[in-house]
């Protein structure tokens, strides 16, 4: 699984005959491309504390990279804007301002209401920008290029840091653990929003639908609690599954080239690639660019809707 990726590049670099000789396993290649680096082979080994392995895997590394990138880009832009003499946003700052205003006025305000918009816009903006950056960076094949360079020029040591980076997927938001953590933030925010708007006890009382008989109310309490837990789960699955799905589709279509090469020779493989795989993969990549935006947007919108439901919980 771990070496599936270099094998594929080798096949590209050294001609299709070798790929046929090695045997092409599409399933292994696909899983190797979208999965995290294996736990027995992480980027940086760290000790296990309290039964939790703190080793840095590729998705953890990508999370840090995305967080650092977002932090640096936004901080530098905002700082340089604040240093200006006239408060006129220019160039990049303009787009940041447009994004902030758009999310505040079109997503947060209609859902949480004018009273709470300043409280919840920062959280929702953070979620949006972070998910967008993680999705978008995952779409850029940075480390695949490193792997390709390695086979043609660099010839790195297989145990080196850069070489380990080429194992496993790069989209941190395609990992269910990452999206589960993000959804937990949403889960916490829903409770905090309800507690801030109505008080802690009233927030939990709001879960009980008003105007029903006590017997029915007792039946409805577990259903309400389950519904509360289901919402972050739906957010988790939606984001991770969408991000994994797009990558799998592109890779599956591209792997047709190797499957046909193995079955009917290099010429047929090349033909399938030129006529079918590459154009379709380009098309799906273009759709993926939209998906990257839409998924970040939907996560933010749904979080805003759920927070709004906790705030406006009248029955």
Provide, rounded to whole angstroms, the least separation between the CB of residue 234 and other proteins: 3
* Beta carbon nearer to other proteins, 32 or 194: 194
* Beta carbon nearer to other proteins, 75 or 106: 106
* Beta carbon nearer to other proteins, 112 or 250: 112
Provide, rounded to whole angstroms, the least separation between the CB of residue 187 and other proteins: 13
Cα 300 to Cα 107: distance, rounded to the nearest angstrom: 8
Cα 245 to Cα 180: distance, rounded to the nearest angstrom: 17
List of residues 6+ apart from 261 with CB closer than 8 A: 16, 19, 20, 24, 268, 269, 270
State the residues that interact with other proteins by CB under 8 A: 106-107, 110-111, 209, 220, 223-224, 226-227, 229-231, 233-235, 237-238, 298, 301-302, 304-306, 309
Cα 65 to Cα 85: distance, rounded to the nearest angstrom: 32
Provide, rounded to whole angstroms, the least separation between the CB of residue 302 and other proteins: 5
Phi-psi region of 113 (alpha: psi -120 to 50; beta: other; left: phi over 0): left
| 276: nearest Cα among 260, 259, 242, 253 | 253
* Beta carbon nearer to other proteins, 49 or 215: 215
Provide, rounded to whole angstroms, the least separation between the CB of residue 207 and other proteins: 11
Provide, rounded to whole angstroms, the least separation between the CB of residue 301 and other proteins: 5
- Rg of the chain's alpha carbons, rounded to an integer? 24
Phi, psi at residue 56, to the nearest 5°?
-85, 115
SS3 313: coil
* Beta carbon nearer to other proteins, 145 or 221: 221
């Amino acid at each position: 699984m771990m070496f599936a990726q270099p094998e594929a590049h080798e096949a590209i670099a050294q001609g299709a005959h070798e790929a046929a000789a090695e045997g092409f396993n599409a399933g292994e290649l696909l899983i190797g491309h979208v999965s995290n680096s294996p736990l027995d082979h992480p980027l940086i080994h760290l000790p296990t504390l309290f039964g939790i392995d703190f080793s840095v895997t590729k998705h953890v590394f990508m999370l840090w990279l995305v967080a650092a990138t977002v932090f640096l880009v936004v901080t530098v832009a905002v700082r340089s804007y604040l240093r200006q003499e006239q408060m006129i946003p220019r160039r990049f700052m303009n787009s940041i301002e447009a994004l902030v205003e758009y999310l505040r006025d079109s997503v947060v305000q209609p859902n949480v209401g004018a009273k709470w918009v300043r409280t919840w816009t920062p959280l929702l903006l953070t979620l949006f920008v972070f998910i967008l950056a993680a999705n978008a960076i995952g779409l850029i094949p940075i480390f695949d290029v490193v792997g390709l360079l390695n086979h043609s020029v660099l010839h790195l040591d297989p145990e080196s840091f850069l070489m380990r980076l080429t194992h496993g997927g790069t989209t941190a938001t395609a990992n269910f653990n990452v999206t589960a953590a993000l959804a937990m933030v949403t889960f916490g925010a829903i409770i905090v929003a309800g507690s801030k708007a109505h008080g802690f006890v009233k927030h939990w009382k709001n879960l009980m639908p008003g105007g029903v008989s006590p017997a029915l109310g007792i039946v409805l309490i577990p259903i309400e609690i389950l519904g509360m837990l289901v919402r972050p789960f739906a957010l988790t699955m939606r984001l991770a599954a969408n991000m994994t799905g797009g990558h799998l589709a592109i890779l599956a279509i591209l792997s047709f080239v190797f499957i046909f090469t193995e079955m009917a020779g290099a010429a047929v493989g090349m033909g399938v690639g030129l006529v079918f795989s590459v154009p379709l993969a380009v098309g799906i990549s273009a759709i993926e660019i939209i998906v990257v935006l839409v998924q970040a947007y939907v996560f933010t919108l749904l979080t805003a809707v759920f927070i709004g439901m906790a705030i406006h919980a009248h029955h």
